[in-house]
Amino acid sequence: MVTSRKRVAKRTTASRTAQLEEKLDDLVSILRATQQQQHQHQHQHHQHQQQLPQEQQQQQQHQQQHQQQHQQQHQHQHQHQHQHQHQHPLPHQPHQPPLPHHVNHLQQPHQPPDRLPEPTPSEAEVYLIKFRQWLEFFPFVYLAPDVTAEALHREHPFLWLCIMCVTSMSMPQQAAMRDRLRQDIAQRMIVNHDRTLEVAQGLIVLTAWATMSAGPGSKPFLTMYTHLCSCIIYELNLTKFPNEEQFATVCFKAWGGRNVPPAKERTMEERRLVLGFWYITSLLCRDYGRPDPNKAPTYIHKKSLLLQLQKIRDTLPPAAASKAVIQMQLFSTETQIQSVGLFGGARIPDAPRIDAMYAALVAARAWYEVLFTIPLAEFIGMPFSLYVQLSQIHALLYRVTTLDDPAWDKEIVRSTADLGNHLDRTIDLFTKAEAFYPLRGGPEDVSIFGKCTKVLRNVRSNWEPAIVQQPMGGLPTPSSQVVPGAAPQPPLLVDHSMMPDQDLSADFGDINWMTQVFGPWEL
């Protein structure tokens, strides 16, 4: 029995030792496995930390490339929209102030200066100085001496654009600004119902110096702009006396209406505007309207008008009386008044009728003498009224030269005011003006002075057959007058539509050559 117990004890001790060894082996294997996992995790974490800056750098590079592509697309789209706006300009939004005019030039660095939509800042300053000189001939607006082109553009963008349009030295730029002004006027007056003095002043600029923004290729605008300007003036009640504005309130005051506010005084700016508008519309209504031919001024009416004209001459200040534009207006008015001798017919006796015709001839000669003494620098800036007067004087001389009246001595016409001589001198004046004031443009662009030169040559060629038939000697033709160094002129076609209508009334308005130079004004 003792022996068996000892064997069992030994077996039990051996089995426990084996179990402990197995457990130790398991623990060792577990520890080793744990250490390997930790080592692998640390190795992966270290690799991840090494890869993270590379991924961030790649991501930043990708973002930068994406931003650059987006900016390039945005710039391309902006340039495309900018070019589209200049080809089809959008109307001006009054509630959105326009960008400074120098910004457009920064956005279009590759455009030639003549093709820019607006003048550069330096050009704008020069053009504003030029316009101040032109205002001496038609002072309907006052610009302070310290006002710069940039300040004018910032405070009155529409007026600034109108001034730049008529003073620009680039004909393509003028055409672009004319189209832009049409869009702007439509947006302001039709869509936004803008009724301000600035818009009216800008419209008067375009009509007063219509010679700088007109031509056969441009759309008619003279009558339309004057009507739009009259709309602004009448809606602002600028043609009424200040006390008339409150007339309705005074009528209803007996029914307990509110107190009548004090009448406001008209500012000098408003007075200049209304006076300038009246002058332009009077000129157009008299010379481009359709008056009744049976209502020609009578002889008694003529005497009254001459007395009023002489009173104006006597009361003019010496500084104003010495101005060429004032003198030409007075002589042109006298010519219009004395033209009653041409259209009075049998209603006026021969003696006063011949006296009136001769007085008109003398006034026309005086008008020409003033015209030919104007320096070229001043002649360039003369308003549109000069060209209207020129057409009237030409028509008058043609009538008195070709008049078939036994009581009228045609030798008096030639010795007093020779039509052929004055036409030649007028053509020479416009030729010199074109050389003195060279407008930039393409080969297809012709300045207003070049148009006048070409058309007046054609007018002279068409009028010459009727003039030569009169017993006053032959007049030199354009082809016979050779100027040394000048290129020969091409032969001119006779256009009988330029002949003045013999039944024309005393307004001298139906002058076809004016339409060929400036376009269809009456439309």
pLDDT tens digit sequence for 357-378: 899 999 999 999 999 999 999 9
Which of 212, 114, 117 has the alpha carbon at shortest distance from 166? Answer: 212
Residue 107 C-beta-side C-alpha neighbours within 13 Å: 20
Provide the mean pLDDT of the chain.
Answer: 74
Q: Looking at the structure, tell me whether residues 121 and 215 fall in a common domain.
A: yes
Structure tokens at 515: 């339409």
C-alpha 137/C-alpha 133 separation (Å) is 8
Q: Which residue did the predictor score with more confidence, 271 or 108?
A: 271
C-alpha 389/C-alpha 377 separation (Å) is 19
Q: Looking at the structure, tell me whether residues 502 and 415 fall in a common domain.
A: yes
The percent of residues in the chain predicted with pLDDT above 70, rounded, is 62
Contact 370, 328 (CB under 8 A): yes
Contact 448, 209 (CB under 8 A): no
Is residue 206 included in any domain, yes or no? Answer: yes
Q: Which residue did the predictor score with more confidence, 56 or 491?
A: 56
Contact 448, 430 (CB under 8 A): no
Q: Looking at the structure, tell me whether residues 135 and 221 fall in a common domain.
A: yes
Overall average pLDDT of the 225-251 stretch: 78
pLDDT at 503: 41
When mean pLDDT is compared across 162-166, 398-402, 471-475, the lowest value belongs to 471-475
Is residue 44 included in any domain, yes or no? Answer: no
Overall average pLDDT of the 186-199 stretch: 92
Is residue 38 included in any domain, yes or no? Answer: no
Q: 155: domain range?
A: 117-242
Select the highest-mean-pLDDT range: 34-38, 105-109, 178-182, 485-489.
178-182
* C-alpha distance from residue 212 to each of 183, 208, 437 (Å): 19, 9, 12
Task: Give the model's confidence band at 298: pLDDT under 50 very low, under 70 low, under 90 confident, else very high.
Answer: low
Largest CA distance in the chain: 187
Q: Looking at the structure, tell me whether residues 231 and 302 fall in a common domain.
A: no
Overall average pLDDT of the 456-475 stretch: 70
When mean pLDDT is compared across 122-126, 333-337, 508-512, the lowest value belongs to 508-512
342-348: long-range contacts at Cβ-Cβ below 8 A with a sequence spacing of 24 or more? Answer: 342/396, 342/399, 342/400, 342/403, 342/506, 343/296, 343/505, 343/506, 344/296, 344/298, 344/299, 347/298, 347/299, 348/299
Overall average pLDDT of the 301-316 stretch: 88
Query: Given the structure tokens 């529409």, which residue do they identify?
Result: 158
Is residue 372 included in any domain, yes or no? Answer: yes
Q: Looking at the structure, tell me whether residues 308 and 221 fall in a common domain.
A: no
pLDDT at 232: 94
pLDDT at 291: 52
* C-alpha distance from residue 325 to each of 127, 186, 204, 217, 322 (Å): 21, 33, 18, 29, 9
Q: Would the CA dihedral through 489, 493, 495, 499 be positive or negative?
A: positive
Q: Looking at the structure, tell me whether residues 315 and 413 fall in a common domain.
A: yes
pLDDT single digits (tens) 423-460: 999 999 999 999 999 888 776 778 889 888 998 999 88
Which of 202, 167, 210, 290 has the alpha carbon at shortest distance from 514? Answer: 210
C-alpha 132/C-alpha 139 separation (Å) is 9
Q: Looking at the structure, tell me whether residues 396 and 510 fall in a common domain.
A: yes
Contact 410, 470 (CB under 8 A): yes
pLDDT at 342: 76
Is residue 487 included in any domain, yes or no? Answer: yes
C-alpha 177/C-alpha 167 separation (Å) is 11
Q: Looking at the structure, tell me whether residues 313 and 453 fall in a common domain.
A: yes
Q: Looking at the structure, tell me whether residues 295 and 226 fall in a common domain.
A: no
Residue 102 C-beta-side C-alpha neighbours within 13 Å: 9
Q: Per-residue pLDDT for 174 more than 70?
A: yes
Q: Per-residue pLDDT for 108 more than 70?
A: no
C-alpha 185/C-alpha 195 separation (Å) is 11
pLDDT at 107: 45
pLDDT single digits (tens) 385-429: 999 899 889 988 998 888 888 888 888 888 888 888 999 999 999
Q: Per-residue pLDDT for 136 more than 70?
A: yes
Is residue 24 included in any domain, yes or no? Answer: no
pLDDT at 523: 36
Q: Give this prediction's pTM.
A: 0.68
Structural domains of the chain, count: 2
Is residue 396 included in any domain, yes or no? Answer: yes
End-of-domain residue from the set 242, 257, 276: 242
Q: Looking at the structure, tell me whether residues 388 and 508 fall in a common domain.
A: yes
Q: Looking at the structure, tell me whether residues 238 and 293 fall in a common domain.
A: no
Contact 174, 128 (CB under 8 A): no
pLDDT at 150: 95
Could you tell me which residues are beta bridge partners of residue 440? 170
Residue 170 C-beta-side C-alpha neighbours within 13 Å: 16
Q: Per-residue pLDDT for 489 more than 50?
A: no
Q: Looking at the structure, tell me whether residues 231 and 344 fall in a common domain.
A: no
139-143: long-range contacts at Cβ-Cβ below 8 A with a sequence spacing of 24 or more? Answer: 139/272, 140/201, 140/204, 140/208, 140/272, 140/273, 140/275, 140/276, 140/277, 141/201, 141/204, 141/205, 141/269, 141/272, 141/273, 141/276, 142/268, 142/269, 142/272
pLDDT single digits (tens) 320-338: 999 999 999 999 999 988 8
Contact 490, 478 (CB under 8 A): no
Is residue 404 included in any domain, yes or no? Answer: yes
Overall average pLDDT of the 149-169 stretch: 95
End-of-domain residue from the set 242, 273, 301: 242
End-of-domain residue from the set 242, 266, 301: 242
Overall average pLDDT of the 81-93 stretch: 44
Overall average pLDDT of the 197-203 stretch: 95
